[in-house]
Amino acid sequence: MKPEVLKQLGGISTATLTMQLLKRGLRNCFIVGARPLNPSTCHFAAQAYTLRFIPMREDLSRVEVLGDPEYPPRKAVEDIPPGQAMVIDARGETGAGVIGDILAARLQERGIAAIVSDGPVRDGVAVAAGSLPVFCAGSAAPASLNVHFGADLQCPIACGGVAIMPGDILVGDSDGVVVVPQAMAEEIANDGAEQERLEEFLKKRVEAGHPTIGTYPPNAETLRAYEDWKATILVS
């Protein structure tokens, strides 16, 4: 993925991105339940590195697996490439945290872009105090082994009701996280930037007293006025 495309996507709101996806027939791209743990550190755009949990089974979800470097949740912390976002399929289960402050600190130190999960984290206050964007379903004290078993890495997952493939683009802001298929990323980045430029103009028109009818969405007259305005800002 081109770094300039990720940078451009990171400057576009998730609201705009969902509209661009809707125009292309994609309706189910917003991760439900993954809210920013700290709204002041919630902006990111990165490729997805996936981790899948399945329901716990007593003979599998033993405390001893936490010391196994090949146990997927532990392996993920050391293997995820810097700059990618760890996306965790927690099955929407809110009874246990999928990551705590020590592992989150390690991921921050390793330079990943974000943690995203449809389940909670542990040590919520400490995790929120870091600079790493974290989107989750709040916090919960019990360890993941109480309800989960870490099953796989870098496989297709579901997170917050959305299908996510390794390498998909995730974009997060104060509204939440949107999944952008990699093949559409560059086109959506360009069209999303144009949509936000148009909406900036439309908002100025509304603030100046124009009625929303004919302005939002714009009619032919409004679009002509927009093209004139755009020409002035692009020159400057």
pLDDT digits (tens, 9 = 90+) for 41-85: 999 999 999 999 999 999 999 999 999 999 999 999 999 999 999
Same domain, 38 and 99: yes
Same domain, 160 and 130: yes
Give the Cα separation of 190 and 8 in Å (integer): 8
Question: Which 3 state secondary structure label does DSSP give 47?
Answer: strand
Name the nearest CA neighbour of 104 among 137, 125, 144, 132: 132
Residue 236 pLDDT > 60: no
The pTM of the full predicted model, rounded to 2 decimals, is 0.95
Give the Cα separation of 148 and 159 in Å (integer): 15
Boundary-marking domain end, from 139, 160, 180: 180
Report whether 157 contacts 50 (CB < 8 A): yes
At 160, list the tokens. Answer: 């917050």
Same domain, 148 and 41: yes
What pLDDT digit, counting tens, does each position of 198-208 carry? 999 999 999 99
What pLDDT digit, counting tens, does each position of 82-112 carry? 999 999 999 999 999 999 999 999 999 999 9
Same domain, 195 and 161: no
Asked which of 111-115, 150-154, 231-235 is least confident by mean pLDDT, the reply is 231-235
Same domain, 42 and 96: yes
Same domain, 172 and 192: no
Assign residue 69 the CATH number of its domain.
Answer: 3.50.30.40
Boundary-marking domain end, from 163, 180, 197: 180
Report whether 121 contacts 98 (CB < 8 A): yes
Same domain, 86 and 123: yes
Same domain, 95 and 203: no
Residue 1 binned pLDDT confidence (cut-offs 50, 70, 90): confident
HSE-up (13 A, CA, CB side) for residue 47: 15
Domain that holds residue 112: 31-180
Same domain, 56 and 124: yes
Residue 136 binned pLDDT confidence (cut-offs 50, 70, 90): very high
* Confidence at residue 126, expressed as pLDDT on a 0 to 100 scale: 98
Query: How many domains is the chain built from?
Result: 2
Instruction: Say which residues have a Cβ less than 8 Å from residue 13's Cβ, sequence separation at least 6.
Output: 173, 175, 196
What pLDDT digit, counting tens, does each position of 157-190 carry? 999 999 999 999 999 999 999 999 999 999 999 9
In a domain, 6, yes or no: no
